[in-house]
């Protein structure tokens, strides 16, 4: 059992994680889906709540089937560390203070993927596909949720229009998609 420290987060009454000591023993897909469904994208600046879980489903839907589980988990570390916005990350980079957060994100990514049975890290080509899908999802969200003019979008958005879901629906769809997708046997990890 994880002792209570200033860096402890509680999953439920019996399970806790120390964010400084990545341990996958308490990680399961229900915890990831439930937490991501309750975290709002854009620090809550959308007209209605729009969850990281729904964003992850959008990213997964933009990927080939063999990478969709990775698309679902591309922001899974946020279930532990919270959603740090891209503008804040850029500001931290300018202040040369991003390294600690990046190290925590990488450590938790490796821990979560291992706990859920997925090889990690991905090969460079597959990681680039996920990054491109994440960027396309961002453009779609900016168009549909923030009313950003097309000329200001980072890339071409998806053709479908987003409708934010309530968090229980986002959680249920995340879990359903996870169960529907192929297992880790079809994934290509990075060469070591």
Does residue 2 form part of some domain?
Answer: no
Report the alpha-carbon distance of residue 129 to residue 122 in Å, rounded: 10
What global pTM score does this model have? Answer: 0.91
Residue 189: the pLDDT is: 54
187 in a structural domain: no
Q: What is the CATH number of the domain that holds 156?
A: 1.10.3210.10
Residues in the chain where the model's pLDDT stays below 50: 185-187, 192
Confidence (pLDDT) at 54: 98
Using one digit for the tens of pLDDT, what is the confidence trace for 166-187?
A: 999 999 999 999 999 977 544 4
Does some domain include residue 190?
Answer: no
Q: Is residue 118 part of a domain?
A: yes
β partners of residue 9: 17
Q: Supply the pLDDT for residue 184.
A: 52
CA distance 51 to 175: 14
Contact 17, 11 (CB under 8 A): yes
Give the range of the structural domain holding residue 90, as residue numbers without chain letter.
8-182
- Is 156 inside any structural domain? yes
Q: For the chain, how many structural domains are there in total?
A: 1
pLDDT at 1: 56
């Amino acid at each position: 059992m994880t002792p209570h420290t200033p860096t402890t987060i509680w999953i439920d009454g019996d399970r806790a994680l120390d964010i400084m000591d990545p341990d996958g023993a308490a990680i399961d897909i229900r915890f990831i889906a439930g937490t991501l469904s309750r975290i709002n994208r854009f620090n809550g600046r959308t007209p209605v709540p729009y969850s990281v879980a729904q964003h992850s489903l959008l990213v997964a839907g933009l990927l080939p089937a063999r990478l969709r589980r990775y698309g679902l988990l591309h922001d899974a570390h946020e279930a532990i560390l919270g959603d740090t916005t891209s503008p804040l990350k850029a500001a931290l980079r300018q202040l040369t203070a991003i390294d600690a957060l990046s190290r925590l994100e990488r450590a938790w990514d490796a821990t979560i993927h291992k706990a859920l049975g997925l090889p990690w890290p991905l090969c460079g080509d597959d990681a680039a596909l996920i990054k491109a899908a994440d960027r396309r999802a961002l453009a779609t969200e900016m168009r549909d949720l923030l009313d950003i003019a097309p000329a200001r979008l980072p890339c071409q958005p998806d053709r479908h229009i987003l409708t934010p879901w309530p968090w229980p629906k986002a959680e249920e769809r995340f879990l359903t998609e996870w169960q529907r997708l192929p297992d880790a046997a079809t994934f290509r990890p990075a060469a070591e």
